[in-house]
Amino acid sequence: MRYEGAIYRPPSEADSLILQATVGCSHNKCTFCGSYKDKKFKVRSFEEIAEDIKEAKQFARYIRKVFLADGDALVIPQKRLVPVVQLIRDSFPRLERIGIYGNTKSILKKSVEELKELKNLGVGIVYLGVESGDQVVLDRVCKGTTLDKTAEAARRIKEAGIILSVTVLLGLGGVERSKIHAEETGKFLSRIDPEYTGALSVIIVPGTPLAEEVKKGTFEVPDPYMLLEELAIMIKHTNPTHMFFASNHASNYLPIKGWLPEEKEKLLKRIEHVLNQRDSSLLRPEFMRAL
């Protein structure tokens, strides 16, 4: 298998075959993200991807899950993406699901009918970085989209019958917009109603524009307890149909998970207990936090 640069995948794709369909991220302007700064975006050729599939097939024929990397492989034009997905399905007879990152722009480039075509070929889940439900925050971090556009992208994924898994980022509003960011993000999650939501916590990556803002004093990172307060506010304002919510990513100080709305009170009581105790031993140690 040939990989260019560091490879990232969602935690739920830990046991998946990772196929690098694109290199880097087509947007690559978010101020908080340093994941793809060392890569120039490109779509790998069908021949290159096919060679990797052939190699994987030789050593692991009974693969059940495949994840298409890098940052937003869904941006690949439909006429180029369909043959790749078709080959994956044909190559692995026990395949259960193909997962893929998508951003708002890449999703909106595809119609519901095109997304349904991908669904029928095995694409079962799309991972979408929402980050915040506060448009002010999104503009400041150069997300490059609007809440209305992201809501439409989410609607298309769900209408196509594909599972929608989103990520949000605690602390992204800084101290200044901490409560607004948390409340508006909860409201936006209610609006788009994804099946899964993962909450991460902001970690300042050296060399990123956000790191420069911290140095200049124009961005202040919320402390661990303020991040927990954000988490509680976000959960309080999230009222989905049936959604699995988790903050068990390595970047978080307090790992929790549960179904909303069914387990909302349980999650809130867990956070409230830690906030009342103010005992640092109840938090993930700083040296164990990572992206």
Distance CA(170)–CA(262), nearest Å, equals 22
pLDDT tens track for 162-204: 999 999 999 999 999 999 999 999 999 999 999 999 999 999 9
Note the pLDDT of residue 59: 84
Note the pLDDT of residue 37: 87
The list of the chain residues with pLDDT below 50 reads none
- pTM (2 decimals)? 0.96
Note the pLDDT of residue 60: 82
Distance CA(91)–CA(85), nearest Å, equals 10
Alpha-carbon dihedral sign for residues 150, 105, 38, 214: negative
Domains and CATH numbers, the chain: 11-288 (3.20.20.70)
